[in-house]
Amino acid sequence: MLRVIACGSVDDGKSTLIGRLLANTGSATEDQLDYARNTRRGGSTIPAGEVDYSLLTDGLEAEHEQGITIDVAHLFLDLPSGHRVIIADAPGHEQYTRNMAVAASTADVAVLLVDATKGVREQTHRHLAICALMGVRAVIAVVNKLDAVDYDQAVFEKLASEVLSAADDLDQVASVIPASALSGDNVVDPSPNLPWYDGPTLLGALSAWEPPDRPQGDYRLPVQYVIRADDFRGFAGTVVGGPVRPGDSVAVAGGGVESRIERLLGPGGGDLDHAGPGTPVTVTLADDVDVRRGDLLTTPGALGNGLSPATAYSATLVWTAEEPLRHGRSYLLLAGSRSVPAVVTSVRGRMDVVSGKQFAARTLGLNDIGTVELTTDTPICLDGYRTCRETGSFLLVDRVSKETVAAGMVRHALRRGRNVVPHAYTVDRDARQRLKGQRAKVLWLTGLPGAGKSTIANALERRLHAMGLHTYVLDGDNVRSGLNKDLGFTPEDRAENVRRVAELTRILLDAGLIVIVALVSPFRTDRAVAKSLFQPGDFAEVWVDTPAEVCARRDPKGLYAQAKAGTLPNLTGLGQAYEPPEHADLVVDGTGSLDDATDELCALLHD
């Protein structure tokens, strides 16, 4: 079985090439051919009665209407040798780069199209770079539409040189084929229109491809399901890495507990004497070991060979969201069946997809490829992507919108993540609260600049102090004069500002204090992430609701005047959006009485 990703820029002729390949090898059905013979898109130049090969690959109605590939379509091709090829037809439009990256993650070979009339484009370099990142080392480049340039050898050689040079820079092995998908030149049969070319056709190149010898390393078995029945407890998953056999030693990565594989069951429930990579299996263990969904079973030796739990990783991200990456914001990291909160702590660089060089960057935008460092809330075992694709890759998901925002490949674990072990002290939060005679709690005041947050926080603390309660106020400006003095006011810096304040608040709460936070914190996602650090009942979100025109009229710090003069960009409410809470625990009228606001907050503390 050979897995191929077909990629190229929009209108490079990818669908026509694949369609002709399917048709000329007998891999398309008569129904499909009749449809492609009797259907025409608007503007099509294919004569009536002839097959429009591009229609054989478009599965969605929108693809038929627009004449572009939107989603990845998987097509099956039978080679003359009897081997089967799965072709992932990936979208060429930049908007759908995320789909292309997913398709590349399982491919052995990339068929990369280059339009002879348009040359090598940025999207060509991007697709090469993504294939390289996803571990696709073999590239068959097809310079298509040579009929439109009179089968000019010089045009082909120039483009072939560019593609080979780019692939070599990415450590890929590439070959280049001149072709015309429309005329059928060099797709299945050698073309008489290209007498100067004596290499293989596309079909010949696919047929001749042999998988590289892969070292038979340690096996991995990510546990996807725990099967329980009478006198039976098995762990189901798909084998990756090396083969596994009954009697093999096994360790639970993370816990380090060891046992031995007692039985190895195939998909039909029958016993197997071995299972290679890609085989779905269920294993039973000789000992009653605690194994859960999301755990990783492997050989004990692998635990000392780079695979050990860590909370910090260096990784490469392909950013696929419209909204840019905000380091400091918490995302969900999905690796196999595990899901843990993760924070991108820094962006180390962004790749120029044309030159392949890394440049300094503070964030990543749509379709950017960059190197980052991230941390997870709990230790997780991830391989380096070069060691194992399946256990070295992950997705990042926005915790609020549930949108997949990035595909990631682990470069290596960071040692500092392995060396951090929380220490449990005898004197805990409960003991500190009892000593102070109060219940610790966080009141997080959010609102526009000038809404009155600091004024209300000051009045509230004075009253609580007079009542003999122990408090502390974290004010936005005060924090930025010390702990967060290195941060600006861009969305990603604001996310980091909220993250640091939330972490500091958690420490103060653990000290048994009532913590009042007065922070603009304009984005719902950042506030939601801050709230997620606390136990239910410990955190109350308070919206100081003051109309923007009132805030601008008050303007106690002169911020609105500066923003209107154009000297202060990114002021919340003018240069940057403010997202009010949708389900605040309390809404305080910022234009009302200060005593009333203090009363309401005191009542909230006693709820």
> Each residue of 74-87: pLDDT tens digit?
888 888 777 788 98
β-pairing, 358-359 vs 338-351, is: antiparallel
pTM of the entire predicted model:
0.66
Strand partners, 476: none
Query: Residue ranges of the alpha helices (H) in 242-353?
Result: none
Tokens of 163: 């593609």
The answer to the question of whether 449 is labelled as a binding residue is yes
Q: Is 521 a catalytic residue?
A: yes
Full strand arrangement of the beta sheet holding 2-8: 73-78, 84-89, 2-8, 109-115, 138-144, 173-178
Q: Which residues of the chain have a pLDDT value below 50?
A: 60, 62
Amino acid, single-letter form, for residue 393: S
Return the SS3 of 187.
coil
The answer to the question of whether 436 is labelled as a binding residue is no
β-pairing, 138-144 vs 109-115, is: parallel
pLDDT of residue 582: 92
Judge contact between 103 and 97, C-beta under 8 A.
Answer: no
Judge contact between 225 and 294, C-beta under 8 A.
Answer: no
CA distances in angstroms from 430 to 384, 425, 426, 501, listed in the order given:
41, 12, 10, 22
The neighbour count for residue 536, using CB atoms within 10 Å, is: 6
CA distances in angstroms from 210 to 85, 187, 305, 388, listed in the order given:
13, 19, 29, 20
Gap between the Cα atoms of 545 and 578, Å rounded: 12
Sign of dihedral through CA atoms 139, 218, 220, 278?
Answer: positive
β-pairing, 330-335 vs 296-298, is: unpaired
Judge contact between 90 and 74, C-beta under 8 A.
Answer: no
pLDDT of residue 216: 61
CB-neighbour burial class of residue 606 (10 A; exposed 0-12, middle 13-18, buried 19+): exposed
Q: Write b or e for each residue in 298-336: b if 16 or more Cβ atoms lie within 10 A of its Cβ, otherwise e.
A: bbbebbeeebbbbbbbbbbbbbbbeebbbbbbbbbbbbb
pLDDT of residue 60: 46
Return the SS3 of 314.
strand
The answer to the question of whether 395 is labelled as a binding residue is no
Phi/psi for 29 (5° steps) reads -80, 165
Say which of 161, 521, 532, 593 is annotated catalytic.
521
What number of CA atoms fall less than 13 Å from residue 77's CA on the CB side?
A: 31
The answer to the question of whether 447 is labelled as a binding residue is yes
Element (H, E) at 99: helix 97-104
What number of CA atoms fall less than 13 Å from residue 367's CA on the CB side?
A: 16
β-pairing, 225-229 vs 232-238, is: antiparallel
Tokens of 520: 């603009």
pLDDT of residue 516: 97
Strand partners, 7: 112
CB-neighbour burial class of residue 423 (10 A; exposed 0-12, middle 13-18, buried 19+): exposed
Tokens of 455: 């004024």
User: Among 214, 243, 242, 220, which residue's Cα sits nearest to residue 108?
Assistant: 214
pLDDT of residue 137: 86
Long-range contacts, stretch 555-560, CB < 8 angstroms, 24+ apart:
555/450, 556/450, 557/449, 557/450, 557/477, 559/449, 559/450, 560/449, 560/450
Judge contact between 393 and 407, C-beta under 8 A.
Answer: yes
Amino acid, single-letter form, for residue 500: R
